[in-house]
A and B are shown apart, each in its own frame.
Chain A
Amino acid sequence: MPDSDRILGIPELDTSLATALPPGWMAVLTGPSGSGAPLLAKQFANAGVGISPVLFYTTYERTRDVEEAFEDFGWDASAIKIVNLADEYYDRVLVRGLEVARAREQGLTLEQMTIDRPKDRVATRYSLTTRMLADLAAIDTPFRLVVDSVDFFFEVLQAQEVTTVARQIRYRCQTVGGQALLAVHSRNHDPAFMGALEDLADLVFDLRAEPKDDRYETTLYVEKVRHRPDLQRIARAQIGESGWTLADRPNPKR
């Protein structure tokens, strides 16, 4: 087993991957809807509890749903910081969009122009990127970070900006010895971006669920381990009481 500050959270994988996820590394997990990638992301977050501060950015689940998923597997959600970016974005950007549309359509009253003046609004205009990077910049010790999922960033940012965010996260990991896992669910993103993201990543996993007979069988593909192509693996995965486990010990390709 690697040192506790390196573990990914899947015991069989941690044992077989000699490097696991060293401080300073960033992993990318791809897995479409139904593959179980969100659970693996949470499992990775849980593995950091008690070792370093854990930040979990969710972009499509309610905070309560994340907490319940943790509780289902006996993990302590209170030990991690859950940030609901989708809720924040809705409150700060989408609601404002509705207010602006209504003001433009219906006009403004004098009261709206003079009461509750949002004097500081311009200064605090919401930026998804700034919001996240400010959190990271405030941490000067090793940390563990999960973004589930990066797809949301594609909805609100240009592809180039998403790459910049990923690059900043990686840089921060390298600077203070952090570990990050970025989950990507959709397979429809620009291949050039996905290529850039996978180039930045030190580890790349892919989780796929495929029908077999009357059920789905899930396979974990370890597609990239930086400097250790010999550690690439393909292994069947299943969900147990403690989250994802690998049904077989991963078999080396060579």
Chain B
Amino acid sequence: MEVPPENPAAASPPVEGGLMAPATALERCVTGIEGLDNILSGGIPKGNMVLVAGSVGTGKTTLCLEFLVRGAERGERSLFLSVTEASDKLIQNLSTFEFFRADLVTNGSLVFVDLPVIYDRLGLEHEELSEDEIGILIRTIRDLVRQLGVKRLVLDSLTSVGYRIRRDERIRDFMLRLGLELSDAGCTSLLVSEIGPVAGRYSLHGVEEAIVDGVVLLWNTRRQGDILRVLQIIKMRGTSHSQAQYVIELTPIGLLLAPHLKGGRMEGP
């Protein structure tokens, strides 16, 4: 399904020279989610770090998993860093989707790692991570990305990590350093942000959205008794994009996007 940008005039201009700016605005990481690639003018600029923000049940994890599966199918090694859910269970859930191919996991194209295992191996046991420990965590993720040649990464969720990096300046530092490392490695990343229904805020600390290159917002809305999942690109450095709202449907073959028609009574994010 092709969904053209609804309001190209509202698209944010590319930001040049920013810390997270991609090497070239023309290089794209094609998400493989057709509707999303269309509204992003061909995909996420390669090396971008993108926040996927939304409340519970809005489809964040599914979107991220499809992003990885599509990448692995294209020969781009993909890594899912799971904090809140065990990988085994995630793979089990993923196998209910037709777009998922188990061989991508067995041949190592799609890799799942549980972050709590990394915490355990590295002795990161304190409720609040120190600056040194944050550095160790970043180095470990960087080394893994380099070692495996990872081109797509999902962290599910940044919020869970953020609970252990309690100070704003430290989460800012964590994201800046991680973003630079991933961008240098040519790795495009999606960081899941779990948010409540607070308008104008997309993350736990409130500083994350300022640092990332892009924000994809997902929320549920009601219309005539139905719950609709809605997606909107809030920002995306390095590309023009639609800022319109799109209804998404989680189908066995993947995410489908359609323009959000404004008829009926609706509730915002």
Measuring CB to CB, which residues of chain A are less than 8 angstroms from any residue of chain B?
96-97, 99-100, 103-104, 107-110, 112-114, 117-119, 121-122, 125
A100 touches B122 (CB 8 A): yes
Which residues of A have CB within 8 Å of B117?
Answer: 113-114, 117-118
What are some 12 contacts across the A-B interface (CB < 8 A)?
A96-B123, A103-B121, A107-B139, A108-B140, A108-B144, A112-B121, A113-B113, A113-B117, A114-B117, A117-B114, A121-B120, A122-B116
Q: Which of B141-157 contact A (CB under 8 A)?
A: 143-144, 147-148
Q: Which of B93-131 contact A (CB under 8 A)?
A: 111-114, 116-118, 120-123, 125
Main secondary structure of the interface of B (DSSP, over half): helix
Which residues of B have CB within 8 Å of A109?
Answer: 147
Which residues of B have CB within 8 Å of A122?
Answer: 116, 120
Bound-state Cα–Cα, A103 to B143, Å: 12
Nearest chain-A residue to B133 (Cβ)? A104
A113 touches B139 (CB 8 A): no
B123 touches A113 (CB 8 A): no
| B136 contacts chain A at the CB level, 8 A cutoff | yes
Beyond the given A100-B122, A110-B148, could you list 9 further A-B residue pairs with CB under 8 A, ordered by the A residue number?
A: A97-B123, A99-B121, A104-B123, A107-B140, A109-B147, A113-B121, A114-B111, A114-B117, A118-B117
Bound-state Cα–Cα, A8 to B15, Å: 82
B120 touches A108 (CB 8 A): no
Which residues of A have CB within 8 Å of B144?
Answer: 108, 110, 113
Nearest chain-B residue to A121 (Cβ)? B120
Which residues of A have CB within 8 Å of B111?
Answer: 110, 114
Of all A-B residue pairs in the complex, the 8 with the closest CB atoms, nearest first, are A100-B123, A113-B113, A107-B143, A103-B121, A117-B117, A103-B122, A113-B117, A121-B120
Which residues of B have CB within 8 Å of A118?
Answer: 117, 120
A110 touches B114 (CB 8 A): no
Closest chain-B Cβ to A131's Cβ sits at a distance in Å of 17
Nearest chain-B residue to A107 (Cβ)? B143
Which residues of A have CB within 8 Å of B140?
Answer: 107-108
Bound-state Cα–Cα, A117 to B125, Å: 16
B118 touches A104 (CB 8 A): no
Bound-state Cα–Cα, A109 to B148, Å: 10
Closest chain-A Cβ to B94's Cβ sits at a distance in Å of 16
